[in-house]
Structure 1
């Protein structure tokens, strides 16, 4: 794709990056074939190719140009950032990086309405601090009938108890684990089950209490500098343990994992953190990347119930780990049902299910129909956002896949 940036604009780092990405697009439109919002709405502007054109026009225009409209923002906001288009693209267009640039630019030029700003600010403040989130969650569960409908479905009536965690100093092999911000409240058993399974494999999980939210919530709600500050805080907290030999940083939420793997890219221009951020990204592993390389034959599995696996977009498209969890579950003896259109997003997409509830509900119901077609006993997934969103329909039970493995160990 040809671009028309001025020489002055080309001196700006974000324009340089946008220009690089735009020039890789060849207008083929293959991306639209796998775009969930294009499939629902049939509008070229609600597919990746159309959004790329909108962002090109936005970035090439002057600050006072009236091309920046509410309509342009609408179509960018409707994007799930599922990155299915990137998996499909034959030219390797890094669409999600361009989208971050486009969203930041339009917010810089045209402030959002007050109600929209308040919603996004509230989401950032409510979700990123685990203790605050857990307090708000308990309050919401107590007064659930008074909670707005879009948020009611996000609150499980009672999460599965976490149970006992193994000693953190038992084994020579040590990993760090990102506990997450909402997962400890919504599904406390996920990380506890992970620690127990890893303990069976001779791996201890070192807790790092100073680590907070990965930064994705702030970053994707266009508070990008706040997101980068969280990245730096986490790097500082992890770094002494990395120097002491921690072999990896494990994420049980694929959305967090995808984001931590991009720390190196997002802090590439920070002279104080670029090298450390790159090292953190190299050490970041989704849980399945750890388990698939271990001798799983040491496990005795007592209950191999029929499962449907929902592969989150952040696992299959962002981390390119499609089929990895299915492979581990199959090796352990679980029976997996086939899932049609497994590449399509469930509609969770971080805070998307709150900011775009109508589209998110349609995508969720379509996804559940596909997952339930094989009549599984349980739907399993690898991301707390997807888990909560799918479970909000109150249909088939939805759990993290590691909880099912942990419960089945003899």
Structure 2
């Protein structure tokens, strides 16, 4: 497990202008990302306030594992993350020291760049992407549309459900999302399915778990040590095409409805940064089965959940033209996960599957119990039957061209510095 140390001190002072008390990126955060600065090579960076700090170019100011990790941050974070939690912790501690002790300022400051000068890139070279379904309230909400009497399938509370997504179409925040085309159910009275642009395009409010240290093929990851294989967490919007999915998903699950685009935020918040915000996994409902031993660890149940707040906002083209701020659709918590991140990792590797640095694991849509915390339009619009009113006078059941979805996430707690994940954005455009 990650630990609380001097890098979490809320009273720590940072000499970088504007970093003190930054709402997302104070010195207590120090997330990792990849960026091209002023058109240069892709370098690993950390975010401090409204600046980025290049890791490879300051490697000489560090020692030991931290120095090696910083030098590895070229082209992607894969090699850095592969060094494991000890190296990432040492890197965090030495970065914290460089940014809080004034006597280091003269040597470090030349390597700071305004974030506006950095073009953010995918943080990892993604070999594989697996999307889980850990949000039980979302699973129940969606299940009720199709199986009102029994919304959860019998396996849900025994096994972390997941499917293999498409790594090649994962993109970093900020790009256009092209409306997909595909087959849909035959119209009433018709024998043949339709084909055309989706009319029921949706977002999914998720978090992405990045694999750091991997495991060898055939060697499961024990649940007690699964957390050591997690490099950090980003926001994930796993866009979903509800009309295509309804036609194609049986018997093998989602395919074209999910593989056309997934968006991740550029910053990887490390598990050490999140240490103060660990919390007990919510107790299972009375009568729910206890997971099998390979998925159960008392320590993970005691602090394997994360008190991270997530929110999703929408900005239509008309709202932007009128100068309206994005409208918040919902806000929820990562504690809506029925399975912990460690259980996701342990289950994924339990059959001997080898996880590799840079693999992405999605949590699945995280909806809370109440409507104000539901993480998809399918839920909020009652499967398209209840239009959502927007401040511009428009309504939405599903996404239209020109709509921008903005996802944010942060962690805050009394006695701790608030840290954030930044934003995950995407604009829907026609083909």
TM-score range, shorter chain: under 0.3
Where relative contact order (Cα < 8 A, 6+ residues apart) is larger, the structure is: 2
TM-score of the pair, normalised by structure 2? 0.25
TM-score of the pair, normalised by structure 1? 0.26
Higher strand share: 2
